[in-house]
Homo-oligomer: A and B are copies of this chain.
Amino acid sequence: MAIRTPRLFQAAALWLPCLLIFVLFITFTCASQPRKPRLSVLGGHNKDRNGVHRPSLIASDSNNDYQTFYYDQTLDHFNYQPISYTTFQQRYVVNFKHWRGARVGAPIFAYMGEEASIDDDVGHIGFMPENSRKFGALELYIEHRYYGKSMPHGFTGDESLENATIRGYFNSAQAIADYAEVIIDLKKNLSADSSPVIVVGGSYGGTLAAWFRLKYPHIAMGALASSSPLLYFDGLVPPNSYDVVVTKDFQEVSWSCYDTIKRSWPEIDRVAAKPNGLSELSKKFKTCKPMKAASELKDYLEYIYSVVAQYDTPPDYPVTIVCKGIDEGANGTDILGRIFSGVVAYHGESRKCYDLNVFSSTDKPTSWDWQTCSDLVTPIGRGNETIFPASPFVYQDYKDYCMKSFGVEPKPHWATTYFGGQHIKRVLHESGSNIIFSNGLRDPYSSGGVLEDISDNILAVSTKKGSHCLDILGTRADDPEWLTAQRKKEVKIIRRWLRKYYNDLHRFA
């Protein structure tokens, strides 16, 4: 039987195709346990997708309009050892239905797969079909190496992670080189040399889209990078940036709610420290299994507050729902009673018991763990001044975890060395073009994003009330005006890029 998905997860699930990324340091506050990087919030979500209602494909595009292909992809683009030439089958999906064709140089919208199977994206990233139709564009989705069906030959996901040789090739520089090859090959096969390519992505995929435009401007004419936290590297933003936004989200909705949450952490510790304290907490929070440490509860609550802030989407606005639960305190007006009421409100129903284990049930490192332990080191910690208990980022712990899990040291400076990020306004002002950085400012990841226009064609399109990747998901009848306006603005910018592109095509012919 499919797991029944809680109501708020259903709301959140609307946004799931645009995957949440980056390691959050969820602290094991039990001092005897080491702090270690954990799954991203969405990594956790992945496990709960069974039975989730998903937005359907837009009316006129059936599954049959999406054709799956495989590209014989080079394992290592940057090496010339015999093994580097090994290839694997990389999956990509094309919808030709709306494409006006190569003859008129009709555009190609290329979705840069993120850290998930592309099955989660095709038909679900509403921006793609909706605008492909509008622009007469070809719709292309490329799966990220080592996810979904794009595995190195003969390996499953787990096997490729366990093999120290094979996992070495699993990183973002190789991934965008894959995208370059697939796009060039497809354009060649379609004789579509003059078709401009706009790359689109969300979250980590948004960062890949922006990076792709910067590294391969000869292949992508422009990029829409939705909710891309491309400044979450190498100390470009303070380590508590994510939590500062979560804090602001809660404060804006209800100061008393924020205050209750803020005061709940020492209260949990106080109760846990009592004789039979953990048993009291287990009872209070109706946990399915007796708690072994207060950290289990705190991780669970931190997870809930993070998810609702990140996916604080209309029309429900999960932060409001959770805060309503906390403020009304239907399950008791003491601090922990209010917090539990928030949990119930989050799930949208009163349950027999609550399973605190929102993360992977095994301790096996995940694909995303590998990525954050190699090139995508995200120094995210928690500061005292946020809604969460303090838990600073300690690189040594991070490194130790990575060494233990994978036997190699992470490279914390590589992302900024290869992709940049330092002085981004100045640098992109004089050397970049044609990128839209879209963000919802309620999304905690927006704190690692570009939120101001950099130049005439590197533009920030933010909405005050928006959440993670909201703009690139499918339109709904009840979308608020500000969301519709954000999408319109993006389309207008892309239209302007295209106009200039076609002019240039003649000018430089």
Contact = CB atoms under 8 A, between A and B. Distances in A.
Interface of A: 76-82, 84-85, 164-165, 167-171, 173-174, 177, 180-181, 184, 214-219, 221, 374-375, 406-409, 411, 413-414, 416-418, 420-427, 429-434, 500-501, 504-505, 507-508
Given A505-B426, A508-B429, A420 B217 contact: yes
B218 A421 contact: yes
Given A169-B79, A171-B78, A218 B427 contact: yes
A425 B508 contact: yes
A418 B420 CA distance: 17
Interface centre among A78, A167, A170, A219 (most CB of B within 10 A): A78
5 contacts: A77-B173, A79-B79, A80-B168, A177-B417, A431-B432
B78 A78 contact: yes
Contact of A217 (B80, B218, B432): B432
Nearest to A457: B430
Contact of A418 (B85, B165, B177, B214): B177
Q: How many copies does the complex hold?
A: 2
A79 B426 contact: no
A102 to B, nearest CB: 15
Nearest to A409: B85
Contacts of A501: 430
A74 to B, nearest CB: 8
A477 B156 CA distance: 68
Contacts of A82: 164, 407-408
Given A76-B79, A218-B420, A218-B422, 7 more contacts: A77-B414, A80-B375, A84-B168, A85-B408, A181-B417, A214-B217, A219-B420
A418 B77 contact: yes
Contacts of A76: 78-79
Contacts of A214: 217
A83 B268 CA distance: 47
A175 B47 CA distance: 42
A80 B427 contact: no
A373 to B, nearest CB: 8
A52 to B, nearest CB: 33
Nearest to A172: B78
Given A180-B418, A425-B508, A80 B431 contact: no
A166 to B, nearest CB: 9
10 tightest CB-CB pairs across the interface, nearest first?
Answer: A218-B420, A81-B168, A217-B431, A78-B78, A426-B508, A80-B374, A79-B168, A80-B168, A218-B427, A425-B508
